[in-house]
């Protein structure tokens, strides 16, 4: 095997010489034969090394048989040992069997042969170790860069890749660190090279709390790829708007194709592939801009699957550009508003975030009473009995029987400290007066008291929507 692998490199190079026509023809024929033999041996070695591990080990063991016999014959010739003894000693020396001593020979000729046999044994053992090590390394690489199925349950699946993915993963890492979710692995499915995704995520998330992220290469609209990430057993699936080229952003056909692919992904996720899943996962779909009903392929997919008898998960839309446009407009018209949005949206150790929280002591309380129970956070919403979230509720709105509320706080520990540890008992000096928050809300001007002059610098596809939102305010 080794000779075949090295044949092309060890074949002698013919020296240039002057010869007559007959000698030249004979020399060329012999040279061609040597090249053919070398090429055949090289090809045979490549075939052998392409076999599975057990096949390569079997070939090495077979090659050991003639090697042992030839070495035993040489040792028998110089030592006059019997065949059985010569073969046994040779086998022990070649394989470095413990207890086999090659330095105890009495004659110098048998000592030289014994050392040569040990030297050959070093090479055969090195070849065996190299084959096994290479097989182990290739299996490790296959696991790291492979695209095998993920056998997780109740995990989070994210499909597609865009600029919002890394910030989303950072928010998930912060939420996991604070104990507010994402304790199961995050599985990412995108049409990118797996090795590139792993390196990018490792670099971008180096300074955030640890979180387990598994990547797989594939398309979100392909049912086989969705099955590879076990999407139907996930707790939630986030469908991101995939990255597209700059030219395609203004191509209506390209945009329709992207939306159709997202709709196909939603249709697959809300369809029953087999009878093992009792409930479809919750689905969050990112929409870069609001679409008319007739152009919204995802809504059509939802309407088709709503007729299913299967228990479906919740579905929510995140409208990126249009919602950001409203935040821009509000920040322009309300000086200081941008500070509020920065604190809520930038995930840092010192920033505040929205937290959904539930506790039995909050159940049945009116908003004006429940709000006063928080000294380290601000309650800004509650869940009604119909399951709908009410933001900026009235004083007499009542928290549902599960005690579900929405709170802005630095971290989840602040909320726990307010409710669970203090049992709702807050020092009087820290309690706002009843109804004071709603009173402040009522005093916020709906319309500006005077006209405002605004200079807009630059123009892009979001500018027109931003102007409309400014005029609406």
Segment 112-139, tens digit of pLDDT? 888 788 878 777 778 778 877 887 877 7
Regarding whether 136 and 174 lie in a shared domain, the answer is no
Same domain, yes or no: 247 and 355 = no
Residue at token pair 């899943």: 277
- Residues 302, 184 share a domain: yes
Q: Fill in the DSSP letter of residue 421.
A: I
Residue 160, domain CATH: 3.40.50.720
Last residue of a domain, one of 283, 313, 343: 313
Structural domain contains residue 66: yes
Residue-averaged pLDDT of the chain: 77
232/166 same-domain check: yes
> Is residue 66 over pLDDT 50?
yes
Tell me the longest C-alpha to C-alpha distance in the chain. 117
473 in any annotated domain: no
Q: State whether 401 and 436 are in the same domain.
A: yes
Comparing 64-78, 204-218, 366-380, 425-439, which segment has the lowest mean pLDDT? 425-439
Do residues 212 and 306 both lie within one domain?
Answer: yes
How would residue 26 be classed by pLDDT, with cut points 50, 70 and 90? low
Domain boundary among 112, 145, 178: 145
Confidence of residue 254 (pLDDT cuts 50, 70, 90): confident
362 or 47, greater pLDDT: 362
Domain annotation covers residue 151:
no
Q: Is residue 129 in some structural domain? A: yes
The average pLDDT across 350-377 equals 85
Give the count of domains, the chain: 3
**Closest among 408, 158, 369, 374 to 283, alpha carbons compared:** 158
C-alpha dist (Å) from residue 184 to 205, 208, 424: 17, 17, 31
Q: Are residues 49 and 111 in the same domain?
A: yes
Q: Do residues 302 and 341 share a domain? A: no
pTM reported for the whole predicted model: 0.62
In a 3-state reduction of DSSP, which class is residue 273? coil
For 208-238, b where at least 16 C-beta lie within 10 A, e where not — what string?
beebebbbbbbbbbbbebbbbbbbbbbbbbb
Q: Answer for the pair 409, 376: CB distance below 8 angstroms, yes or no.
A: yes
Same domain, 122 and 204: no
Whether residue 342 sits in one domain with residue 273: no
Residue 318 lies in a domain: no
Q: Please report whether residue 450 resides in a domain.
A: no
305 shares a domain with 180: yes
181 and 302 share a domain? yes
Domain extent, residue 388, equals 324-443
């Amino acid at each position: 095997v080794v000779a075949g692998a090295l044949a092309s490199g060890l074949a002698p190079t013919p020296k240039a010489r002057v010869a007559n026509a007959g000698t030249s023809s004979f020399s060329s024929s012999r040279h061609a034969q040597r090249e053919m033999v070398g090429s055949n041996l090289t090809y045979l070695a490549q075939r052998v090394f392409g076999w599975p591990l057990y096949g390569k080990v079997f070939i090495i063991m077979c090659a050991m048989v003639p090697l042992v016999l030839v070495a035993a014959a040489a040792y028998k010739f110089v030592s006059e040992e019997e065949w059985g003894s010569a073969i046994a000693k040779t086998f022990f020396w070649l394989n470095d069997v413990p207890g086999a001593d090659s330095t105890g020979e009495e004659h110098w000729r048998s000592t030289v042969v014994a050392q040569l046999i040990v030297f050959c044994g070093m090479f055969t053992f090195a070849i065996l170790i190299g084959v096994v090590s290479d097989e182990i390394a290739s299996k490790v690489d296959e696991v790291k860069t492979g695209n095998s199925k993920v056998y997780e349950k109740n995990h989070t699946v994210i499909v597609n890749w865009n600029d919002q993915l890394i910030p989303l993963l950072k928010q998930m890492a912060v939420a996991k660190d604070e104990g507010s979710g994402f304790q199961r692995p995050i599985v990412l499915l995108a049409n990118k090279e797996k090795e590139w995704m792993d390196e990018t995520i490792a670099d971008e998330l180096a300074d955030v709390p640890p979180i387990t992220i598994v990547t797989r290469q594939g398309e979100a609209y392909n049912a086989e790829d969705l099955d590879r990430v076990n999407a139907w057993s996930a707790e939630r699936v986030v469908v991101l708007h995939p990255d597209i080229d700059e030219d395609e952003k203004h191509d209506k056909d390209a945009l329709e194709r992207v939306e159709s692919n997202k709709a196909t992904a939603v249709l697959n996720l809300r369809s029953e592939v087999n009878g093992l899943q009792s409930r479809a996962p919750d689905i969050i779909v990112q929409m870069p801009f609001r679409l008319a009903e007739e152009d919204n392929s995802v809504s059509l997919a939802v309407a088709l699957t709503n007729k299913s008898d299967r228990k479906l998960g919740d579905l929510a839309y995140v409208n990126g550009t249009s919602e950001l446009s409203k935040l821009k407009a509000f920040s322009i018209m309300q000086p200081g508003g941008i500070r509020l949005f920065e604190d809520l949206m930038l995930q840092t150790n010192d920033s505040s975030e929205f937290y959904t929280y539930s506790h039995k002591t909050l159940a049945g309380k009116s908003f004006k009473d429940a709000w006063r129970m928080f000294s380290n956070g601000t309650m800004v919403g509650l869940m009604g009995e119909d399951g709908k979230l009410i933001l900026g509720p009235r004083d007499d709105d009542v928290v549902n029987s599960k005690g579900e509320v929405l709170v802005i706080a630095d971290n989840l520990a602040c909320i726990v400290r307010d409710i669970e540890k203090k049992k709702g008992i807050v020092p009087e000096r820290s309690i706002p007066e009843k109804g004071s928050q709603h009173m402040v809300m009522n005093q916020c001007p709906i319309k500006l008291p005077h006209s405002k002059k605004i200079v807009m610098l630059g123009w892009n596809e979001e500018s027109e929507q931003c102007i409309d939102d400014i005029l609406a305010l």
